[in-house]
């Protein structure tokens, strides 16, 4: 049209000087997609608020009861970060939505038409979502910790980041949440539906651990340490539960969960009709 006014398209060959599909192109496309949906920011903000507000609340409550009936686990460095139980659902669901939203709206057809080799889309979505969650949630967990200390210090009980396990626990909480987000995205790719993806995620994080607890026998207990939620807890908690993995092993198991789910997602994306 305007670009080739006097030329016919009949013999047109796309020139080498015209950019093609690149991974950085896929990355910037996914970043545009993420930031131009209101739901992205709403859910992310909800997770931030949940982490900080709950940390403040826990800091206040534990501070005021410090000398009374408190379990040891309420006094450890990671205790105020329990907002993560809500935040993990929000971040996981947003991860599912970032992918399943493409399928429910039909956007995926445009996406795959633009990048027909497909896998760059999956990697780009993962990189974008991983960076977004890490860069917002790590500062948030430190902020939440600080807010909790503010309340605790009001009662004269604050710990500092230099306390054993404190720094690791705070940093790990942010990383755990980002990994749960990536797990959500992988599940979104696998089931291609929002309700399906959310059900799987909630089932894996909340239902399966409870089921394994009711099953009699030691094997169920042994397995349960390797679930994403338990492995995550080993990673971010200041306290090590009986028989639980070490923090490093917990992180490793969590990463394996994400890697396996993503590999299955990549395999299916490549193989299935879009």
In angstroms, rounded to a whole number, what is the distance separating the alpha carbons of residues 87 and 264?
25
Assess 39 for contact with other proteins (CB under 8 A).
yes
Applying CB under 8 A, what is the total number of residues that bind other proteins? 43
> How many alpha carbons lie under 13 Å from residue 151 in its C-beta half-sphere?
21
107 vs 215, beta carbon nearer other proteins: 107
116 vs 248, beta carbon nearer other proteins: 116
Q: Quote the least distance from Cβ 46 to other proteins, whole Å.
A: 17
Q: Quote the least distance from Cβ 106 to other proteins, whole Å.
A: 5
In order of 116, 171, 247, the CA distances from 144 in angstroms are 42, 11, 21
* CB 182, CB 191: distance < 8 Å: no
Window 9 to 38, contacts with other proteins (CB under 8 A): 9-14, 18-22, 25-26, 28-30, 32-33, 36-38
Token pair of 205 as six digits: 């994080």
Determine the angle formed by the axes of helices 84-105 and 38-65, rounding to 10 degrees: 170
Q: Quote the least distance from Cβ 124 to other proteins, whole Å.
A: 9
Q: Quote the least distance from Cβ 253 to other proteins, whole Å.
A: 34
Question: Which of the stretches 52-60, 101-109, 240-248, 252-260 binds other proteins when contact is defined by CB under 8 A?
Answer: 101-109
The dihedrals phi and psi of 249, each to the nearest 5 degrees, come to -65, -35
The site string for other proteins over 179-218 (x = CB under 8 A, - otherwise) reads ----------------------------------------
Token pair of 163 as six digits: 């306390």
* CB 195, CB 213: distance < 8 Å: no
The dihedrals phi and psi of 19, each to the nearest 5 degrees, come to -60, 145
Assess 101 for contact with other proteins (CB under 8 A).
yes
Q: DSSP state, 272?
A: S
6 vs 218, beta carbon nearer other proteins: 6
In angstroms, rounded to a whole number, what is the distance separating the alpha carbons of residues 157 and 64?
10
Window 105 to 124, contacts with other proteins (CB under 8 A): 105-110, 112-117
Assess 45 for contact with other proteins (CB under 8 A).
no
In angstroms, rounded to a whole number, what is the distance separating the alpha carbons of residues 183 and 177?
10
Question: Which of the stretches 4-12, 125-133, 231-239, 247-255 binds other proteins when contact is defined by CB under 8 A?
Answer: 4-12
List of residues contacting other proteins (CB under 8 A): 1-4, 8-14, 18-22, 25-26, 28-30, 32-33, 36-39, 101-102, 105-110, 112-117, 273-274
């Amino acid at each position: 049209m305007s670009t080739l006014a006097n030329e016919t398209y009949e013999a047109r060959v796309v020139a080498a000087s015209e950019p093609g599909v690149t991974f950085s192109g896929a990355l910037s496309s996914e970043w545009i997609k993420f930031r131009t949906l209101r739901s992205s920011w709403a859910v992310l903000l909800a997770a931030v608020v949940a982490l900080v507000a709950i940390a403040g609340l826990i800091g206040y409550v534990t501070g005021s009861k410090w000398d009374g009936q408190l379990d040891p686990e309420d006094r450890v460095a990671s205790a105020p970060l329990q907002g993560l139980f809500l935040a993990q659902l929000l971040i996981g669901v947003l991860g599912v939505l970032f992918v399943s939203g493409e399928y429910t709206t039909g956007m995926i057809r445009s996406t795959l038409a633009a990048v027909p080799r497909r896998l760059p889309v999956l990697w780009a979505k993962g990189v974008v979502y991983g960076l977004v969650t890490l860069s917002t949630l790590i500062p948030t967990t430190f902020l939440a910790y600080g807010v909790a200390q503010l309340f605790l210090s009001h009662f004269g009980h604050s710990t500092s980041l230099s306390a054993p396990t404190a720094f690791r626990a705070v940093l790990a909480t942010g990383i755990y949440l980002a990994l749960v987000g990536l797990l959500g995205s992988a599940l979104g790719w696998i089931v291609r539906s929002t309700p399906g993806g959310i059900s799987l995620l909630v089932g894996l994080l909340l239902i399966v651990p409870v089921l394994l607890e009711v099953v009699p026998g030691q094997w169920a207990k042994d397995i349960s340490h390797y679930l994403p939620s338990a492995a995550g807890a080993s990673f971010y908690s200041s306290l090590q539960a009986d028989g639980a993995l070490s923090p490093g092993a917990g992180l490793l198991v969590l990463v394996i969960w994400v890697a396996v789910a993503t590999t299955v997602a990549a395999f299916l994306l490549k193989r299935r009709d879009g």
